[in-house]
Chain A
């Protein structure tokens, strides 16, 4: 099937006319979505888009470079807090603040990448985990960051108010278009980066560090670069998240969030940008929407509630959320180790040869 005949075919953004066609249809659908959705759904879309940015960035690190990371909640927090502070304390325009916070997150990513040069597997997991937890508590301790009380985001002004050009986005819908544009840009950037020298180096490191070093890849440079790029993504996402939410405290960015980010990438399919997108979408939808509402679904809801009353704690239906999420995760690892992306490949193959 996807036979590549030349290098240039391999670095094409859209592999074929069909892919381009469906990508355009999808984009059109996303642009039109707010006209058919309630406010609530637009908020959910915004959350999904933000999570997609994080997942795509995390995938570059975990999926493509093979470095485990459990501290992305920390970079996410840096993005959110620094963006808001740059805007409120230094009066910087939104886009400058967003980029600034992302670069600060990237710098912290670089710092975290340094110990990663010597650590592997579970030890790296512990180090990144510690980073995520530490960031949360450091922010909580500092008055500048609003302490444990948290921060409120200012109005989202995407103009340059200092020059008298002001364009404030009030509604979730207008924020949706901003976030959608940024998400599309970040996703294209991720697809492309994997086809550059750096991207190839990442994959080589994942496949074999020694082999990579032998063919002249500087491990120190590319490993820290992978951390920095990944943190940059989380920083951008955090900055947008601050405005989707409007108010946040340090404990919003807790350990669970970091783990959930990793779950998104694994469920979606390690090493695939499309997989990360699918994973982020599915997990966010399950966590924020379906699992919260199952209790009101006729028959099934009542059944689950009575089961919970009988066997689990008094919390009722909410007992099932984490159980179900865990089952999804275990199911994916047992039956479809390549995640949603793997399933997609299989479906594609099946139809290619259908009906034979």
Chain B
């Protein structure tokens, strides 16, 4: 009985907390006031997709740096992260809450195709600016309120194939791909590129994302006699495939998509095989350890503002998507409005942060078409084997 009385006593402050959570923020003017600009992002902070949650926190670094320098035209950036656990229904709840209750001006980033698809039409109907969804899917390309940063999977495949053929001179190239839109889009890019060279894939082996025994796929790839294999698969499967191949003495050159360019992570889950095999990947940022003023400033800021974060590729992706938004907010000037920000985004030309070079216009919000190609060095370091290169075969 005593416990119950304690619980009853606890219920009072708990109730107060409920009320605070609900009333503390009455409806305000949408997006900004004289003191702050409100920006939101969703991302899986918990649950099985949690490693990608670093994207949302990476964007926070950029905003914190801006706020430290006094904000944008006197306004601080107030940034909201909503954990959606990679579940569309939670994304929708978080996004509606941020729009209705917090009144955000714009969304930045947002990991994943499914969560993004769930909120796309809602954001479009409400004319809310959305910069840099973290998905290369084609479905995001013709929303007038969306500006894209994430390189398309078509371009990714095309540039990987280009590097394999033109720089490395491989004649026999095979594809190991995830059997869905991601893999298919990349395959289109690869086939288009190989056609230019009158070549064909010697094998295209699909894999389902839940498969964990990949020996039959590796056997097929091996029997095709491929010298190089382009992989469009998730990190776990890339690691399993690499181990399986090495264990049967099959050691082609692996080229993976930009989603796997976190060499520290890949080396960790392959016990160093990633470095020993010198795996090549495409990449959508500058070298994480590059000695450029911008990169140095971010690395120092992480040490100071977010020392608990790992300087990984997903964290950097958050920076990549936030940079153009901050740039546009500065360009939009002190007379901020949704229209002003939209025009500023539309007129971004040749902007370069630590990601690819961006040009947007009123007609085209397509993502940049350039990528870098990296190779994992013997000590797990990043070797840039191909500087930024644009895909000249890109689809319109």
A: residues with CB less than 8 A from B are 38-41, 43-44, 47, 137, 141, 147-150, 152, 241, 244-249, 251-252, 254, 256-257, 287-290, 292-294, 296-298, 300, 309, 314-316, 318-319, 321-322, 331, 335
Contacts and interface: CB of A to CB of B under 8 A. Distances in A.
A43 B7 CA distance: 31
Nearest to B6: A335
B49 to A, nearest CB: 9
Contacts of B81: 316
Interface residues of B, number: 51
Interface string B6-38: 010000000001101100110100000000000
A296 B306 CA distance: 19
Contacts of A288: 89-90, 93
B100 A245 contact: no
A176 to B, nearest CB: 13
A315 B96 contact: no
Contacts of A321: 46, 83
The 8 closest A-B pairs by CB, nearest first: A40-B100, A318-B83, A318-B45, A315-B45, A40-B96, A249-B114, A38-B100, A247-B118
17 contacts: A40-B99, A44-B93, A141-B208, A149-B181, A245-B92, A245-B118, A248-B118, A249-B117, A287-B90, A293-B97, A294-B21, A296-B21, A297-B17, A300-B20, A314-B57, A316-B81, A322-B46
Interface string B68-88: 000000000000111101111
Nearest to A133: B210
B122 interface: yes
A38 B101 contact: yes
A74 to B, nearest CB: 16
Contacts of B101: 38, 40
Contact of A296 (B27, B80, B118): B80
Contacts of A246: 92, 118, 121-122
A287 B87 CA distance: 12
B17 to A, nearest CB: 6
A299 B122 CA distance: 33
Nearest to A150: B114
Given A40-B101, A149-B180, A319-B46, A296 B53 contact: no
B271 to A, nearest CB: 24
The residue among B93, B94, B180 with the most chain A CB atoms within 10 A of its own CB is: B93
B121 A252 contact: no
Interface string B278-318: 00000000000000000000000000001011000000000
Nearest to B42: A292
Interface in B116-140: 117-118, 120-122
A206 B375 CA distance: 62
Most A C-beta atoms less than 10 A away, residue of B82, B89, B121: B89
A231 to B, nearest CB: 20
B83 A292 contact: yes
B143 interface: no
Contacts of A289: 21, 93, 97
A247 B100 contact: no
Contacts, number: 124
B113 interface: yes
B3 interface: yes
A84 to B, nearest CB: 14
Nearest to B102: A296
B334 interface: no
A321 B83 CA distance: 10
Nearest to A241: B89
Contacts of A247: 88, 114, 117-118, 120-121
A61 to B, nearest CB: 23
Given A40-B99, A40-B101, A292 B93 contact: yes
Contacts of A254: 87
A276 to B, nearest CB: 19
Contacts of B3: 335
Contact of B93 (A47, A148, A322, A331): A47
B246 interface: no
A297 B27 CA distance: 15
Nearest to B47: A256
Most buried by B among A137, A247, A257: A247
Q: Which of A141, A252, A289, A293 has the most CB of B within 10 A?
A: A293
Nearest to A252: B88
Contacts of A322: 46
B103 to A, nearest CB: 10
Contacts of A38: 27, 100-101
Contacts of B47: 256
B46 to A, nearest CB: 5
Given A245-B89, A246-B118, A292 B20 contact: no
Contacts of B4: 335
A296 B181 CA distance: 37
B88 A296 contact: no
Contacts of B86: 251
B333 interface: no
A315 B314 CA distance: 14
A149 B184 CA distance: 12
Given A149-B113, A245-B88, A256-B47, A296 B57 contact: no
A353 B216 CA distance: 73
